[in-house]
């Protein structure tokens, strides 16, 4: 009887403890009060603030919290869609068709969330909204000013993005001290003031340069950057120090003392073999624990097993293959960020290290093509705009098709494949795209209906997620194993339906269509190990824990090609 009672007692206590734990989480999830993490950057740009924010998101998500992210960009473009990829890098497209900063790609890949236009705001958009309201008379009688009108608009965007989550991670683009990011910094200062210390956490990401001649890392730029931040009313709750190599505790103590943050709030993230190791490093530095303690949030524990597996597989590949990316922006590979990452994801999944060969399409000479492309196990032509380098891309597709090298075309890569096939297989003389030569006779690629009427260039392409019907008994079907899929688009041109019959009779397979069959979305070839191209951008939906199926098949066939090549040479 006595032991029955004690078992019952223990049971009740255990149930109460579990209820308390989940009760805390649930009550936190239900009390609607979003907490905020603001990430600023100091010293230099390109510190990987996006990866840091995304990794913190991954850590907090793994603890059962509902996370969303907002990127604030200080430039005056409404979105990066009208910028040169050489300057800005890739334009990431969300399901709802927003053209956004490439950091949104990191957030989606690490946190496995679907973001939208609320998750990316530029100063241009903020000013546009304010000026629109001014014209509508919403501020009648007032003098419209940066403070409070612009800062209020920024705060509205932050609250809107944080509406449905437990924690909003908000990354402020640029570097502290820039003139253009001042209104953003002021807005986040005001949010801390309003919401209180326990609801807001400030992270400042800074850089510790290693000076060869002194043989040590230097902390002074970080000290100045924190001082600049303090001058704007923000005391960081965590300093996240990027460095080439791991820094010593001595350096951490020095920074703690001079930057007025506790030693426990100085974390280090050195350069890593793979960016997917960042969540593990930040966990080791107790970053998520510190945030949760500060924000007074109880959460479940997680061992990050999936991330550990990704990192282990990346570091212990069984094979290496050579993938050629034939494009225009090859000197600035940030322009192909999601494509690069999607290839890496598939490689990790198949225990294979991808060796990237960025090939400038403009420099491809027909006489040298064999020498340059023969070493490749797979060739990919990614998205792009304009006619520069087109001939080199066509020559690469021809080489891949004739030599049975796996070929994967994405968006422009599909259009190039259709042009190449039209010229060399369907014998359509001088076949081209309306984009490159609008007056040409055989426009096998032409404007999507209504696109030629468009005069405003910003945000007017065919953008965002659209359904695609997959034809059975095709490679596309074998890859997706579904009749209807959704993929993201960003283009103005499409395959001209007047040429469908000619292309089909010459052997081209159309394996994916818009559900009304008006737009061709996927093409492939039969007598080829992998010749597949799509009008959409599958790279946007790949993540390390769930690589995209087309990328997986492309890499699998490239591995096969590599093995065959080893046998021949
Ligand atoms: N320039 C082509 C178009 O607008 C392809 C675009 C792309 O590759 N994203 O249709």
The pick from 385, 443, 449, 520 for probing ligand 1's pocket by mutation, whose C-beta has the most ligand atoms within 8 angstroms, reads 385
Which pLDDT score is estimated for 467?
98
Told to judge if 539 belongs to the known catalytic residues of this protein, a careful annotator would answer yes
Q: Does any domain span residue 391?
A: yes
Assigned domain for 477 exists: no
Residues of the chain with pLDDT under 70: 1-32, 568-569
Residue 284 Cα to ligand 1 midpoint, Å, equals: 43
CB 323 within 8 A of CB 353: no
Measured CA to CA, the distance from residue 431 to residue 424 in angstroms comes to 10
Query: Are 300 and 329 in a shared domain?
Result: no
Judge whether 411 counts as a catalytic residue: yes
Query: Closest Cα to atom 1, ligand 1: which residue?
Result: 385
Distance of CA 136 to the CA centre of its chain: 36
* Short-list 229, 178, 202, CA closest to 45: 178
**How close is the Cα of 438 to the center of ligand 1, in Å?**
15
Write down the pLDDT at residue 5.
53
Same domain, residue pair 64 and 120: yes
How far is it, in rounded angstroms, from Cα 243 to Cα 221?
Answer: 13
- Please give the distance, rounded to the nearest whole angstrom, from the Cα atom of residue 382 to the centre of ligand 1: 9
301 and 322 together in one domain: no
At 265-289, the pLDDT tens digits run 999 999 999 999 999 999 999 999 9
CA end-to-end span of the chain: 80
Q: DSSP class of residue 296? A: T
**Judgement on whether residues 292 and 428 belong to the same structural domain of the protein:** no
Give the Cα separation of 536 and 487 in Å (integer).
Answer: 6
Give the end of a domain, one of 308, 342, 360: 308
- Residue nearest to ligand 1 atom 6, measured at CA: 491
In ligand 1, the atom with minimum distance to the C-alpha of 383 is 8
* Per-residue pLDDT at 8: 55
Helix (H, G, I), strand (E, B) or coil at 329: coil
- pLDDT value at residue 81: 86
| Same-domain check for residues 287 and 344 | no
Q: How far is the CA of 403 from the centre of ligand 1 (A)?
A: 26
Predicted pLDDT of residue 87:
78
CA gap 564, 550 in Å, rounded: 21
258, 336: one domain: no
Contact 325, 336 (CB under 8 A): yes
Q: How far apart are the C-alpha atoms of 321 and 324, rounded to whole Å?
A: 10
Contact 273, 314 (CB under 8 A): yes
* pLDDT the model gives residue 74: 94
Helix (H, G, I), strand (E, B) or coil at 27: helix
Choice from 336, 414, 459, 491 to test ligand 1 binding pocket (greatest atom count within 8 A of CB): 491
Given 285, 308, 331, which residue is the final one in a domain?
A: 308
Range of the domain at 174: 29-308
Indicate which residue's Cα is closest to atom 7 of ligand 1: 383
Query: Do 183 and 324 sit in the same domain of this protein?
Result: no
Q: Is residue 4 part of a domain?
A: no
Q: Does residue 128 fall inside a structural domain?
A: yes
Mutate to test the pocket of ligand 1, among 97, 432, 435, 537 (most ligand atoms within 8 A of CB): 435
Domain stop point among 308, 327, 352:
308
- The answer to whether residue 15 is domain-embedded is no
Phi, psi for 521 (deg, rounded to 5) = -110, -30
Give domain status of residue 79, yes or no. Answer: yes
Verify that 398 and 272 share a domain, yes or no: no
CATH number for the domain including 288? 3.40.50.300
Dihedral (CA of 148, 150, 155, 160) sign? positive
CA 557 – ligand 1 centroid, Å: 26
Domain count, the chain: 2
Active site residue 269: no
Q: DSSP label at 212?
A: T
For residue 5, being part of any structural domain is answered with no
Rounded CA-CA distance 260/263 in Å is: 9
- pTM higher than 0.85, yes or no? yes
Q: Is residue 145 part of a domain?
A: yes
130 and 246 fall within a common domain: yes
Question: What percent of the chain clears pLDDT 90, i.e. is strictly above it?
Answer: 82
Could you tell me if 139 and 249 lie in one domain?
A: yes
Catalytically annotated residue among 171, 186, 539, 557: 539
My answer on whether 433 and 301 are in the same domain is no
Check whether residue 287 and residue 324 sit in a common domain: no
Helix (H) or strand (E) holding 470: strand 462-470
- Cα 282 to middle of ligand 1, angstroms: 38
Whether cis (ω within 30° of 0) applies to the bond prior to 192 is no
Judge whether 444 and 431 are in contact, CB under 8 Å. Answer: yes
Give pLDDT, residue 230.
96
462 in Cβ contact with 492 (< 8 Å): yes
Alpha carbons within 13 angstroms on the beta-carbon side of residue 152 total 9
Ligand 1 binding residues, C-beta < 6 A:
383-385, 411-412, 435, 490-493
What CATH number is attached to the domain comprising 546? Answer: 3.40.50.880
Confidence at residue 27, expressed as pLDDT on a 0 to 100 scale:
41
């Amino acid at each position: 009887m006595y032991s029955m009672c004690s078992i019952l007692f223990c049971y009740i206590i255990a149930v109460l403890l579990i209820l308390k734990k989940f009760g805390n989480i649930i009550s936190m999830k239900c009390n609607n009060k979003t907490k905020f993490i603001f990430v600023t950057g100091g010293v230099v740009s390109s510190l990987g603030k996006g990866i840091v924010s995304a990794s913190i998101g991954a850590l907090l998500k793994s603890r059962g919290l509902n996370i969303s992210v907002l990127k604030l960009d200080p430039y005056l473009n409404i979105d990066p869609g009208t910028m040169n990829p050489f300057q800005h890098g890739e334009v990431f497209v969300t399901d709802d068709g927003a053209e956004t900063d490439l950091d949104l790609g990191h957030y989606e890949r690490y946190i496995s969330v679907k973001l939208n236009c609320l998750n990316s705001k530029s100063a241009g958009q903020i000013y546009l909204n304010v000026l629109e309201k001014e014209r509508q008379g919403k501020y009648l009688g007032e003098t419209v000013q940066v403070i409070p009108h612009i800062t209020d608009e920024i705060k509205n965007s932050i609250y809107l993005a944080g509406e449905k989550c437990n924690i909003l991670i908000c990354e402020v683009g640029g570097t502290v001290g820039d003139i253009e990011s001042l209104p953003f910094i002021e807005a986040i200062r005001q949010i801390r003031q309003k919401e209180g210390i326990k609801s807001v956490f400030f992270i400042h990401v800074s850089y510790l340069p290693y000076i060869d001649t002194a043989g040590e890392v230097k902390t002074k730029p970080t000290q100045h950057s924190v001082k600049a931040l303090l001058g704007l009313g923000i005391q960081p709750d965590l300093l996240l120090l990027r460095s080439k190599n791991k820094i010593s505790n001595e350096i951490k103590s020095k920074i703690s003392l001079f930057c007025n943050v506790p030693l426990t709030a100085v974390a280090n993230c050195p350069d890593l073999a793979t960016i997917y190791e960042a969540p593990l490093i930040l966990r080791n530095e107790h970053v998520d624990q510190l945030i949760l303690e500060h924000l007074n949030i109880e959460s479940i524990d997680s061992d990050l097993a999936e991330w550990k597996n990704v990192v282990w597989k990346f570091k212990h590949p069984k094979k290496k293959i050579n993938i050629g990316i034939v494009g225009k922006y090859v000197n600035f590979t940030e322009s192909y960020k999601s494509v690069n990452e999607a290839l890496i994801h598939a490689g990790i999944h198949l225990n294979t290290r991808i060796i990237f060969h960025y090939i400038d399409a403009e420099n491809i000479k027909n006489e040298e093509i064999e020498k340059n492309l023969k070493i490749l196990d797979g060739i990919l032509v990614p998205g792009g705009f304009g006619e520069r380098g087109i001939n080199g891309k066509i020559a690469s597709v021809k080489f891949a098709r004739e030599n049975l090298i796996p070929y994967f075309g994405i968006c422009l890569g599909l259009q190039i494949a259709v042009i190449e096939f039209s010229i060399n297989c369907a014998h359509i003389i001088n076949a081209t795209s309306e984009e490159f030569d609008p007056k040409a006779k055989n426009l096998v690629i032409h404007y999507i209906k209504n696109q030629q009427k468009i005069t405003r260039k910003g945000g007017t392409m065919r953008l965002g997620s659209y359904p695609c019907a997959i034809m059975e008994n095709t490679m596309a079907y074998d890859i997706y194993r579904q009749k209807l899929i959704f993929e993201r688009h960003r283009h103005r041109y499409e395959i001209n339906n007047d040429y469908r019959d000619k292309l089909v009779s010459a052997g081209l397979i159309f394996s994916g269509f818009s559900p009304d069959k008006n737009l061709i979305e996927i093409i492939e070839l039969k007598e080829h190990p992998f010749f597949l191209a799509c009008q959409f951008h599958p790279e946007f939906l790949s993540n390390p824990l769930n690589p995209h199926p087309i990328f997986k098949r492309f890499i699998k066939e490239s591995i096969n090609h590599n093995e065959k090549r080893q046998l021949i040479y």
